[in-house]
Amino acid sequence: MRIIQSTLLAMLSVGLLMQAAAGKLPNIVYIICDDLGYGEIQALNPDRSKVPTPHVDKLASQGMVFTDAHSGSSVCTPTRYGVLTGRYAWRTSLQNGVRHHNGEPLIASDRLTVPALLKRAGYDTAALGKWHLVFSFVDENGEKVKGQGNKWNGGIPAGSRVQDGPTTRGFDSYFGFHHSAIIETTIENDRVVDDTPMDQVLGKLGDRAAKYIGEKAKSENPFFLYLALNSPHTPIAPSKGWIGKSGMGDYCDFLMETDHTVGQVLQALEESGVADNTLVVFTSDNGCSAKPANAADLIEKYGHYPSAHLRGYKSDGWEGGHRVPFIVRWPGKVKAGSTNPETICHTALLATCAELTGQTLADNEGEDSLSILPALLGTNDQPVYDAFIHHTIRGMFSIRQGRWKLCVHSGSGGWSAPQDRDARKQELPEYQLYDMEQDLGETSNLADQYPEKVEQLLALLKKQVADGRSTPGAPQKNDAEIDLFKKGQ
């Protein structure tokens, strides 16, 4: 079992336990956007974000902005696994890419999740929006339903049952869709209920979130709302009232509607009288997806930089792939209008919720999760994360420790040029080493100048992979054999 070593943190935990006993634990609303780049939010990129985001900007002014926050992966499925389990997804059978429906669920039935942990502390739990962690559609005989729909409509008949869905992984209720390719196939709890036109999905999620908050505000139990928005991922489908709002095309219209939906949630918290006792997290699953966003045109025509000052986009091992917006508001606890440069990772949620509710994680729970509660409250005197690992769509690894970042690939690791096969043909170096304090844009590869640093970081990466964990505790087994180098890709 993990032990909290700091006396200060022990005192803090006692205080939180007293809060729990008094029924004062905060509600938690976790808003995760889909493919929202670090540079899309004006509060984070004031000079080069040209899309108004007033509601997220206001949230930033009321809370803490982490400027060095990262997803565990530069694509969707693995990031969501890490958020909900506190474990890197590459420790599972998912070694690259993403997963779709009608397969083996990525979260094992005996794996502790954030909602399951919070239910132990008396929370009501709900998930809204994109799941993308694999469940199956089955008919009344338990046979899988394949569907006959088009790209955005899975053609799954209403009434089909969802097997191994969110309500079997810790959530009391669920409303949403599996992944964006079948976004119109709408699920409520464990049943397909109807089809939702793609341009109405975001609005429905906002309405459902506001309704849930209003209902749960009347309950004595705290609540956890996991709101996984569909935007601004494809299909880029702003609703009728938002088309043309930005003057910069459908993608930027969709960004504005996304900000509006966040505002809808924040307004519901205020109107329900629970805003002061609600911890709100706003983030994204990875960086901007360059092609559907037409990122090059946005930069050239409008001066809008979706990745801000960072190199790369969704899918890549470079910062633009996995450095994400991360804003936390908790009135009276988290300092309003503050900025925190500490390096953190999405996998922190499980351990943070455990500390918040006075629980201890077992060695086989949240193997890559560390609590950022001390960073939120300003009580830590050293960084929470000593090091953490990134993973790309092609399964390429990188590791960050302090100022140093080592990419174990020659190219982007993803879709951006040069892709790794091309990089090897160009005889680019096998490793990329960057000083993140001096070269945030990752323009100067220092691997040849600091070979000892390359070896040190590579050894640390190998150890954290082999140990089955990156946190203190007994070594654990990974679910699959892991190829660190993937030179055939």
85: domain CATH number? 3.40.720.10
What is the CATH number for 408?
A: 3.30.1120.10
Q: Print the domain residue range for 279.
A: 27-385
Q: Could you tell me if 175 and 321 lie in one domain?
A: yes
The pLDDT value given to residue 154: 85
Work out the burial of residue 477: count CB atoms within 10 Å of its CB; fewer than 13 is exposed, 13-18 middle, 19 or more buried: exposed
18 inside domain: no
Q: pLDDT digit of tens for each residue in the chain (489 aa)?
A: 444 434 444 444 444 544 544 458 999 999 999 999 999 999 999 999 999 999 999 999 999 999 999 999 999 999 999 999 999 999 999 999 999 999 999 999 999 999 999 999 999 999 999 999 999 999 999 999 988 777 788 889 999 999 999 999 999 999 999 999 999 999 999 999 989 999 999 999 999 999 999 999 999 999 999 999 999 999 999 999 999 999 999 999 999 999 999 999 999 999 999 999 999 999 999 999 999 999 999 999 999 999 999 999 999 999 999 999 999 999 999 999 999 999 999 999 999 999 999 999 999 999 999 999 999 999 999 999 999 999 999 999 999 999 999 999 999 999 999 999 999 999 999 999 999 999 999 999 999 999 999 999 999 999 999 999 999 999 999 999 999 988 656
| Among 214, 140, 207, residue whose Cα is nearest residue 176 | 207
Q: Could you tell me if 459 and 367 lie in one domain?
A: no
pTM of structure: 0.95
In degrees rounded to 5, what are phi and psi of residue 420?
A: -65, -35
Q: Could you tell me if 238 and 297 lie in one domain?
A: yes
State the Rg of the chain over Cα.
Answer: 21
Q: Could you tell me if 400 and 458 lie in one domain?
A: yes
The pLDDT value given to residue 472: 97
Q: Could you tell me if 168 and 206 lie in one domain?
A: yes
Work out the burial of residue 341: count CB atoms within 10 Å of its CB; fewer than 13 is exposed, 13-18 middle, 19 or more buried: exposed
Task: Work out whether the CA dihedral 441, 447, 451, 457 comes out positive or negative.
Answer: positive
Q: Could you tell me if 423 and 364 lie in one domain?
A: no
Could you read off the pLDDT of 315-344 as tens digits, one per residue?
Answer: 999 999 999 999 999 999 999 999 999 999
Q: Could you tell me if 404 and 263 lie in one domain?
A: no
The pLDDT value given to residue 19: 54
The pLDDT value given to residue 301: 98
211 inside domain: yes
Secondary-structure breakdown of the chain: helix, strand, coil percentages, each rounded to the nearest 5: 30, 20, 50
Q: Could you tell me if 153 and 291 lie in one domain?
A: yes
- Number of domains forming the structure of the chain: 2
